[in-house]
Amino acid sequence: MLAALRWVPESRAGLTHRIFDLAGAATVTGGLMLLVYTIVKAQQYGRGASETLLLGETSLVILAGFVVIEQRSRHPLVRLSIFRVRSLTSADLILMLLGAGMYSMFYFASLYTQDILGYDPLKAGLAFLPVSVGIIVGAVAAQQLIGRVGVRAVGTAGLMIATAGMILLTGITPAGTYLGSLLIGLGPLSIGIGLTFVPITLLATANVSDEDAGLASGLYNTSQQIGGALGLAILSTLAADKTTSALMVLGRAPAAADRAAATVDGFQVAFIGGAIALGLAAILMRSLIRPSDVDSIDPTTPLPVPG
């Protein structure tokens, strides 16, 4: 930060107005937060309970209000016409599914290392270092492959590899090991994620004007966060339901081994859901992205490696 103050020159946008769309920001943030809260609390209230329905309907009303506000605002937070750009809309939708799978992997795999394998938090964190390495390897490889086989092919292959890795994670057991249960799936999953991020970034920011570059970049980041939040809320609810039902069918007070087995059953359901999300993303990459969507993409454009 200090170096930036000294050597990075100050710059200011040549705008004739500085208006912040407070109503748009408040409604989209509040609506999404309430939607995630509704999904998480559905297990406690019951999916058909009046509390769940009321919260869900309220969140949808707030989000609908956001759309109306953006349509009528002179200076909207999100100019809705940008979604007419096929490559951007498709990439953001695919990224939402990728975020759902990726966030669920990190969350449930970290719980598995601590609650089942017995790792302390520091050791659990170190166990994920290969994931960072795999993402870097995949991203570097993607930058080399895009110029040879194309953006769509690399993105589709990356999502298929990530899906295969997530499927391998469904094989975890209470008696599993780090190498045999986790790393065997985390390896291909992380490489697939790295392979996917580069083409998705290109697709999400291509075919837009210079003045919309910032908005496109913001939508890219927001799509990943929304997908992660909604995906994790849904998959954690399904995992908890599976664990609860596995314990209820015992008909007796569960022992420690029973709780571990039921917990792993829930994790398996979550990984299955993550695999479905990634598989659907691969299908959308292949079906929604057309050759004309990638004609303007320069494969030599340098991109930051995701970490």
State the pTM of this model. 0.84
pLDDT surpasses 70 at 108:
yes
Burial (0-12, 13-18, 19+ Cβ within 10 Å), 5 = exposed
Q: Above 90 in pLDDT, residue 297?
A: no
More confident residue, 307 or 120: 120
Give 44: exposed, middle or buried? Use CB within 10 Å, 0-12, 13-18, 19+: exposed
Cα gap 82→35, rounded to integer Å: 24
CA dist., res. 73 & res. 57, Å (int): 24
Q: Are 101 and 162 in contact, with CB atoms under 8 Å apart? A: yes
**Whats the size of the chain, residue-wise?**
307
Is the separation of the CB atoms in 155 and 196 below 8 Å?
yes
Paired tokens of 97: 């599914």
Per-residue confidence at 189, pLDDT binned at 50, 70, 90? Answer: very high
Name the one residue in this structure whose structure tokens are 């039902």: 245
In angstroms, the CA 222 to CA 88 distance is 13
How many CB atoms sit inside 10 A of residue 123's CB? Answer: 13
Q: Are residues 203 and 297 in contact, defined by beta-carbon separation less than 8 angstroms? A: yes
pLDDT at 303: 53
Residue with tokens 């992380």: 190
Tens digit of pLDDT for each residue in 112-131? 999 999 999 999 999 999 99
Amino acid present at 248: M
**Which of 275, 294, 296 lies closest to 152 in space, CA to CA?**
294
Residue 125 neighbours by CB under 8 Å, 6+ apart? none
Query: How far is CA 293 from its chain centroid?
Result: 23
Mean pLDDT over each residue of the chain, to the nearest integer? 89
Checking if the pLDDT of 36 tops 60, the result is: yes
